[in-house]
Chains A and B, each alone.
Chain A
Amino acid sequence: MHSATVVIVDAVGMLLIAWLVQLVRRDRLYVGYAVIFVLVIGAGMALLTVPGALAPLEWIATVVQRAPALVGLALAFVVLMLIYILSQVTLLSNRLTMLTQELAIREAMSSRQVHDDSTR
């Protein structure tokens, strides 16, 4: 692979990782999902950057089928959509968490009131 391509792919990878960190920081993406994406992106960047690391994969790809460039684009789209969907799932989960916590706090406040009344 051309070194210019590697630089571009690495730069895109770094941007994606920065975006993921930003999403986690803002509580928009659960850290468990982010870790998986960061690991996969990091591994992909390492494979492209380290000379010879991609050779076994290239050999497999050649043997199985030469993937058209469109497949790469489709994969990138799927990854972006996955991040987006998981971020929406995280938002929904956060809202449910807040609701559950609020119900629990209200229960605790009323049960404390009952205990206080019974000990008076």
Chain B
Amino acid sequence: MTATAERTPVRVLVAIPAYDEAPTIEAVVRSVRGAVPHFDLIVVNDGSRDATGAALARAGVTTATHLCNLGYGRALQTAIRFARRTGYDALITFDADGQHRASDLVPLYDAFRAGDYDLLIGSRFVERRDYRTEPAVRRVGMHLFSVLIAVLTGKRVYDTSSGMKVIGRRVFETLVARPFVDFHAEAIVYLIESGYRVGEFPIAVAAREHGASMYTPLSVFKYPLKVAFLIVVGALEARRTRRARA
């Protein structure tokens, strides 16, 4: 379990939250194992109703099964709790829908170690710095969250909803202690405001071929309000915690 970037042995866990991803999960597990055989892998089966559980059993991968669907954020939290309890140095989150490229894992992790980050986001937009390729509604949301984070923290983050991130051990405790709903913009703003080192690294994503996005038509209205509220609460809470620590 030695990372390619460093001589020091480190334990890295790749975590894949999966909800109804039976058509893709085996291929995703295979691709991750092929790309980073020296990293450990866990799939959090978030109460899937399809054959995801059977596919995971066939793949012989370490699995944490939620008895009911708790949502993306809670699934990631389960993985972070597991990583913390079993002594991992870093955790890489990876989507189960086949959109992420396993070949990005090593460069992303190498950049994480080189930059001594606490959170490194695999970013679809940090190179181009615009959202032209995204659908209009999502474009507006991404721009809004990015600007809101910049206003509150002074740091611009271009991809606030990427599912591919490297999370360092230093922030495990922080990330399981707070009730993060989706580990995207709210967690990013909280960590920046708490004084942790957050960055972005360019990655590419493929178009989704199977399954449905977790964003429903109703969530187009609900999600931005919820996240904007959480960003503000997160920033306030981080400042308060920082003041208390000082």
Contact = CB atoms under 8 A, between A and B. Distances in A.
Contacts of A94: 179
Contact of A97 (B70, B86, B233): B70
Interface stretch (B20-28, B59-67, B89-97, B115-123): B59-67
Contacts of A88: none
A68 interface: no
Contacts of B65: 104, 107
B222 to A, nearest CB: 7
Contacts of B68: 100
Interface stretch (B133-141, B151-159, B162-170, B223-231): B223-231
Contact of B85 (A21, A27, A105): A105
Nearest to B86: A109
B66 A101 contact: yes
Contacts of A6: none
Interface residues of A, number: 23
Question: Which of the four size classes fits the interface of chain B?
Answer: 20 to 34
A28 to B, nearest CB: 9
A104 B64 contact: yes
Interface in B68-106: 68, 70, 74, 77-78, 81-82, 85-86
A105 B226 contact: no
B81 A101 contact: yes
A39 B68 CA distance: 30
A32, A94, A105 — most chain B CB neighbours (10 Å) = A105
Contacts of B67: 100, 103-104
B226 to A, nearest CB: 5
Interface of A: 21, 24-25, 27, 31-32, 34-35, 38-39, 94, 97, 100-101, 103-105, 107-109, 111-112, 115
Interface of B: 42, 44, 60, 62-68, 70, 74, 77-78, 81-82, 85-86, 178-179, 181, 222, 225-226, 229-230, 233, 236-237
14 contacts: A24-B230, A38-B229, A39-B225, A101-B81, A104-B65, A104-B66, A105-B78, A105-B85, A108-B62, A108-B64, A108-B82, A111-B62, A111-B63, A112-B62
